[in-house]
């Protein structure tokens, strides 16, 4: 009985850990651009600074993954990353020169960037061999993201954007406490294969590379929006509370979309490519509406489409990667897909979006998103047409049990 109670306490702590972790990230991603604008940075400088995280992640993710595999104590590794994130976040907020902000943000992203991947690995390790499903823990992360945003908005509106550093520190400390009370894993997490072991072989699959290319075009505008939507809302006269509402609406239904896709979407290349083209078309509609918006409330309600567009695109893209890449190279395929979505697109979206917003305005930035997403939509549509007419066949068989190896990250 005592052992069962301890296990249940551990799972509850993991859920709260995810809640607080996602809460800290939404504070930084949604409100930090406002802080940078307040200290005098322009749109291009803000976009360039925020895109640094994507660049650092290319190095940081494999670094922390190697150390986790070596020491087999992922709880301690994640705790170290949280500690580094806490310390360096305060350095960022206390920096009094642009140079100091840029230097400290590099080290901040080195600790903060891979937190999602490492924490998901940790949760999967704790629930291994139990009846618990990862989706229930992921739900707590989405709740933390949504409710932190909507509650933080009025607080920042009342106290000023400088209070952001205290809110960030408080949520990080809460996440660390939730982690400290967890028992150490009584089994090895396993040695992960090298993610880019088959990287070279993937370049011999032009169909998959086309999928990656069109995915980059669709994801660049998403990065632009994530970086600048809070500034766009304030430019239209919106408050910090309205920013919190927009983030809340963009994420509250995301898990429901993932669950519905997992339950009802047929796992075949033609069906998934068709859905990917449809979701990309919804991106086109989303950016068109954003370019045409005239009030903060309109922007907030348009953000509801994020649940379908981002949730659907990332889910379908992950599944398609499993089908398009030969089985021995799937780990490399997933790594490349994630790298292009969060890495390459993150860098290009931050810099390009910042330049467009600074010199041509928000409407031009979103219209460029319409153009890029439209090309991606047409590309995915052409791929769907090719597959539907029998012009492409996967190079190996994909068994149903292979799907059970995949868990979706944010």
Concatenated DSSP letters for 130-183?
A: SS--HHHHHHHHHHHHHHHHHHHHHHHHHH-GGGHHHHHHHHHHHHHHHHHTSP
pLDDT exceeds cutoff 50 at 409: no
The pLDDT tens digits for 261-316 are: 777 777 788 888 999 999 999 999 999 999 999 999 999 999 999 988 987 887 78
Instruction: Collect all residues with Cβ–Cβ distance below 8 Å to 32 and sequence separation of at least 6.
Output: 50, 164
pLDDT(2) > 50? no
Which segment, 67-76, 373-382, 387-396, is predicted with the most confidence on average? 373-382
Token look-up 């979103």 returns 366
Q: What is the mean pLDDT of residues 218-237?
A: 95
What is the C-alpha to C-alpha distance for residues 247 and 22, in angstroms, rounded to an integer? 12
| pLDDT value of position 337 | 72
Q: What is the pLDDT of residue 191?
A: 46
pLDDT of residue 289: 97
- What confidence tens digit (pLDDT) does each residue in 150-183 have? 999 999 999 999 899 999 999 999 999 999 888 7
192-391: CATH topology: Growth Hormone; Chain: A; (1.20.1250)
Same fold, 10-191 and 192-391: yes
Residues 6+ apart with CB under 8 A from 245: 150, 153, 300
Residue 349 to residue 46: CA distance in whole angstroms: 12
Report DSSP letters for 238-260, one per residue.
--HHHHHHHHHHHHTTHHHHHHH
Q: Length of the chain in residues, anyone?
A: 410
Kindly state which CATH superfamily the domain 10-191 is placed in.
MFS general substrate transporter like domains (1.20.1250.20)
pLDDT per residue as tens digits for the range 357-371? 999 999 999 999 999
Per-chain mean pLDDT for the chain? 83
| Distance (Å, whole) CA 406 – CA 402 | 8
Spell out the domain ranges in the chain.
10-191, 192-391
């Amino acid at each position: 009985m005592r052992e069962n109670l301890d296990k249940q306490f551990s799972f509850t702590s993991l859920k709260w850990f995810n809640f607080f972790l996602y809460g800290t990230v939404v504070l930084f991603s949604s409100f930090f651009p406002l802080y940078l604008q307040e200290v005098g940075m322009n749109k291009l400088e803000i976009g360039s600074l925020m895109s640094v995280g994507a660049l650092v992640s290319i190095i940081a993710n494999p670094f922390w993954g190697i150390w986790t595999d070596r020491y087999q104590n992922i709880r301690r590794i994640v705790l170290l990353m949280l500690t580094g994130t806490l310390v360096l976040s305060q350095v960022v907020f206390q920096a009094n020169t642009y140079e100091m902000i840029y230097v400290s943000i590099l080290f901040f992203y080195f600790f903060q960037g891979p937190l999602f991947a490492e924490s998901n690995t940790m949760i999967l390790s704790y629930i291994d061999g139990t009846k618990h499903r990862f989706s229930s823990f992921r739900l707590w992360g989405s709740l933390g993201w949504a409710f932190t945003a909507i509650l933080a908005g009025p607080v920042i509106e009342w106290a000023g954007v400088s209070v952001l550093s205290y809110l960030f520190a408080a949520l990080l400390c809460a996440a660390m406490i939730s982690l400290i009370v967890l028992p150490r894993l009584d089994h090895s997490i396993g040695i992960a294969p090298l993610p880019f072991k088959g990287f070279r072989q993937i370049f011999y699959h032009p169909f998959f590379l086309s999928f990656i290319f069109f995915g980059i075009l669709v994801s660049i505008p998403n990065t632009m929006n994530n970086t600048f939507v809070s500034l766009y809302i304030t430019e239209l006269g919106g408050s910090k509370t309205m920013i919190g509402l927009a983030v809340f609406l963009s994420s509250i239904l995301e898990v429901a979309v993932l669950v519905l896709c997992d339950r009802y979407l047929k796992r075949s290349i033609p069906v998934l490519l068709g859905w990917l083209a449809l979701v990309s078309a919804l991106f086109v509609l989303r950016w068109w509406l954003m370019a045409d918006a005239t009030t903060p409330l309109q922007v907030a309600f348009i953000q509801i489409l994020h649940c379908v567009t981002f949730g659907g695109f990332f889910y379908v893209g992950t599944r398609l990667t499993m089908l398009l890449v030969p089985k021995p190279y799937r780990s490399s395929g997933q790594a490349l897909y994630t790298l292009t979505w969060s890495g390459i697109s993150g860098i290009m979206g931050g810099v390009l979006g910042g330049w467009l917003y600074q010199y041509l305005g928000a409407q031009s930035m979103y219209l460029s998103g319409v153009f890029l997403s439209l090309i991606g939509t047409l590309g995915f549509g052409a791929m769907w047409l090719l597959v539907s007419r029998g012009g492409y066949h996967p190079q190996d068989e994909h068994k149903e049990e292979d799907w059970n190896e995949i868990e979706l990250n944010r």
